[in-house]
Amino acid sequence: MGDPKFPSKHYDTPSHPWQKVRIDEERAMIHQYGLKNKREIWKANTKVRDMRRQARKLTAKANDSQSQKEKRLLLAKLNRLGMLEQDSALEDVLGITPGNILDRRLQTQVYLQGLSSTVKQARQLIVHGHISVDGAVTRVPGMTVTKLQEKNISYSPDSGLNSDLHPVRPGAKDTYSDDSDAEENEKTIVEEENKVVKEEESKVIETKSIDVKEKTTKEETTKKSGDKK
């Protein structure tokens, strides 16, 4: 059992530390889901392996009444978590990937619902207490969100992000229409001026190249005429 002060790990680490394909995949997943470290990916992989192992055991004991009960409980749980559809079978459990588990994290759901501009900002808002689930402030980015909880994710009542004019809130810049329009107009004017300047420079370079070619052709013709004489 071990000492309660030093609990054992609830995830399995990779068998080999230096595998380029696995490292590249983990790096892409960290960037996609805004994870803090690879430990969260290893936890998701362990959960997927446990689900697949349980599904294989239940398929091997399909005629047992206890296995039928555990099958219904497993499918109902995965449906409640939003990982499987209503009329799914045990074969569908084998198709679950770590991405399906990471999609159900609170951090990912906050970003998908448009409460943050980026995935990393979603993690920051959760840790700082700006996000509430079912009316309660939640500071755990890795919390698994169910289908019912997914509909009740919002800003916490005491958060300043409830105001539409908050600068951190996504889409807040749209409220300052005058300033944004002026900045956009200035950008377009500068871009048009840069295009005109580049076109003029290209024309000058073309004329210079033409003059150089004409000079070289004249010099070659004069040399040829001198050689003939």
Residue with tokens 């999609």: 103
Q: Which of 204, 227, 226, 224 is nearest to 216 (CA)?
A: 224
Closest alpha carbon to 37 in 19, 15, 16, 11: 11
* Confidence check: pLDDT of 175 > 60: no
> Is 127 or 4 the better-scoring residue by pLDDT?
127
Distance (Å, whole) CA 65 – CA 156: 46
The token pair that represents 165 in the structure block: 């004019």
Which tens digits make up the pLDDT trace of 24-73?
999 999 999 999 999 999 999 999 999 999 999 999 888 888 999 999 99
The mean pLDDT value of the chain amounts to: 83
Question: Could you tell me the pLDDT band of residue 171, with boundaries at 50, 70 and 90?
Answer: confident
Residue 165 is predicted with a pLDDT of 85
Strands 131-133 and 136-137: antiparallel
pLDDT band at 170 (very low <50, low <70, confident <90, very high): confident
Instruction: Give the single-character DSSP code of 155.
Output: E
Per-residue pLDDT reduced to its tens digit, 122-154: 999 999 999 999 999 999 999 999 999 999 999
Q: Which residues contact 133 (CB under 8 A, 6 or more apart)?
A: 106, 143, 145, 149, 152, 153
**Alpha carbon distance 156, 130 (integer Å):** 5
Predicted structure pTM score = 0.70
Q: Which helix (H) or strand (E) holds 131?
A: strand 131-133
- Give the integer Cα–Cα distance in Å for 44 and 36: 14
Highest mean pLDDT among 1-10, 179-188, 214-223: 1-10
